[in-house]
Amino acid sequence: MKISFIGTGLMGCPMAERLLTGGYEVTVYNRTREKAEPLAAKGARIAGSAREAIETGEATVFMVRDGAAVRDLLTEGGSFPDLTGKTVIQMSTIASTESEALAEDVRKAGGDYLEAPVLGSVPQATEGSLLVMVGGAPELFERWGDVLRRFGPEPRLVGPVGHASVVKLALNQLIGSLAAAYSLSLGLVRRKGVDVDVYLDILRKSPLHATTFDRKLPQILARDFTDTNFPAVLLLKDLDLARSEATSLGLDTTALQGVREIVSRTVEAGKGREDYAALYEVIDPGR
């Protein structure tokens, strides 16, 4: 089966490699060609354009920055290509309304559309243990199930197009909220001179504990956020999407506004490409 993969960055590269090791014939494309070249050494063919990649694959996976990038790549040359007999599998984090509009346009071009955003980062992408949330028709979910299982063992059909996208935004705003709350919590005990291990031992025995706290602790204690799993600038983008979605649904976003401000200041401090745990530096600046 021929699969094309567009977007071979931090997450896309290991995901495309998962397809290669699964025996698929893979064509890749990235606007910055250098990011696709490591995959060529592992058996992928590099397309010269997004249009070429789309025309090559029976399905094309998109793992790019945002909804605008997905649309720009799909309409490279000014319009949608003929997608008859082809499926677009959109895995980027985008707004539900963007996904719904893309689905409609893909159908008008003769193709099928699935949204399949994921939760997890580079280690999970490499292992094939991502949480894959799918929005679309059940028959398409079944048809492309084996491909989706290369990324995560148990893809979950959430509902129609738009539903998986909003679940992903609901989860990503939790990433920001948990990181901000944990940073403030750590800052409190550290500045008062409390033994961090004592605090963490109590936290781990409580229902307040989240496993992400332990994963981010070494970075925070070292104040070194250069080992990036999820860049702060992309978290900021997702928080803006979540805020817009929540506002459109009539929800109060006061809590989210505060988290968004902290992440924004992290990006403004020049740490946008570092891991989002760098927001600790805003909450508890080094002294």
pLDDT in tens, 93-105: 999 999 999 999 9
Question: Which of these three, 134, 159, 184, is where a domain ends?
Answer: 159
Q: What mean pLDDT value characterizes the chain? A: 97
Helix segments in the chain, DSSP class H: 12-21, 37-40, 50-56, 67-74, 96-108, 122-127, 138-143, 145-149, 163-192, 196-204, 211-222, 232-248, 254-266, 280-283
What string of DSSP letters covers 183-238? HHHHHHHHHHT--HHHHHHHHHTSTT--HHHHHHHHHHHHT---S-SSBHHHHHHH
Give residue 276's domain range.
166-283
- Are 173 and 153 found together in one domain? no
The pLDDT assigned to 24 comes to 98
Query: How many structural domains is the chain composed of?
Result: 2
Q: In terms of domains, do 18 and 117 share one?
A: yes
> What pLDDT was estimated at residue 286?
80
Q: How confident is the model at residue 75 (pLDDT cuts 50, 70, 90)?
A: very high
Mean pLDDT across the stretch 64-77? 95
CB atoms closer than 10 angstroms to residue 163? 19
Q: Please identify, among 159, 177, 199, the residue that sits at the C-terminal boundary of a domain.
A: 159
Tokens for 129? 């243990």
Contact 59, 83 (CB under 8 A): no
Q: What is the pLDDT of residue 78?
A: 87
Tokens of 56: 């090559």
Using pLDDT thresholds of 50, 70 and 90, give the confidence band for residue 287. low
Same domain, 120 and 69: yes
* Same domain assignment for residues 90 and 63: yes
Of 286 and 46, the structure prediction assigns the larger pLDDT to 46
CATH of the domain at 201: 1.10.1040.10
Q: Are residues 105 and 182 in the same domain?
A: no
CA distance 74 to 176: 30
94, 214: one domain: no
